[in-house]
Amino acid sequence: MAKTSYLGANVNVATDTFREWTERTNQIVYDAGTIIVTVGAVATPNTTNHALTTGNGHVNGTFSATTLAVGGTLRGGTTATAAAMNVGSNTLPTANVTMEVGSPTMMFGNGYFKNVISAGDIEANYSSDRKLKTDIKKMENALEVINKINGYMFTWKTDDTKNGTTDLGVIAQEIQKELPFLVSTNGNGNLAVKYQSLIPLLIEAVKQLSKRVTELESK
């Protein structure tokens, strides 16, 4: 049940006896692991209404909030050790579960998602400025590489919403043999392909084919 008030943390080191201090500390530890603490809405958070605190806090269990506003950093783990931070529901998200990250204007940083399913548009811009690249060279054997990999139609066999659905794609193991730098291992131990980097390969392969056709037509 919810604890409507909590004064266990009010330890007075100047007047409390060692026994009182120990009892209060034990109560804090017990409450942190077993009791749901609820805080009503306040107009201005401050230390008096206990809606404003400083330092580090830990909840061993479930923390629920209608709105959680963080003025600094919201992250997983502790101040010393990093850990995964899960944002979502306990079950597979459905149409009535929404998670909004950032603002409609701009976000910076890196994110990892197992699967991204969008009912709207997803726009992604990849850094491609020449000044960010070195050892630039043309792909002379693009058509040769394309002939060694294949495109497939297949049915997904996964433990998520993709399971049983039909899709088009490549096989990571085939790409790994020819272009190993485009293949990585994800958190589940499965191989993943950097699909967007196959586009330049296709561009050069088409150009090489076009050149061959032009040479044949000129004979």
pLDDT tens digits, 148-182:
999 999 999 988 888 999 999 999 999 999 999 99
List, for residues 99-121, the tens digit of each pLDDT value: 565 555 555 556 666 667 777 77
**Mean pLDDT over each residue of the chain, to the nearest integer:** 75
DSSP code of residue 54: -
Question: Which residue is it, tokens 């995964």?
Answer: 84
Are the CB atoms for 192 and 183 separated by under 8 Å? yes
Task: Provide the pLDDT for residue 152.
Answer: 97
Q: What pLDDT was estimated at residue 126?
A: 81
> What residue spans define the domains of the chain?
1-85, 134-217
Residue 153 has a CB neighbour count (10 Å cut-off) of 8
148 Cβ partners below 8 Å, 6+ apart? 174, 177, 178
pLDDT at 8: 46
Please check whether residue 165 is in contact with residue 190, taking contact to mean a CB–CB distance below 8 angstroms: no
Spatial CA neighbour of 45 closest among 55, 56, 35, 53: 53
Token match 């330890």: residue?
A: 11
Any residues with CB less than 8 A from the CB of 129 and at least 6 apart, and which?
A: none
Q: Enter the pTM of the model.
A: 0.52
At residue 37, the pLDDT reads 53
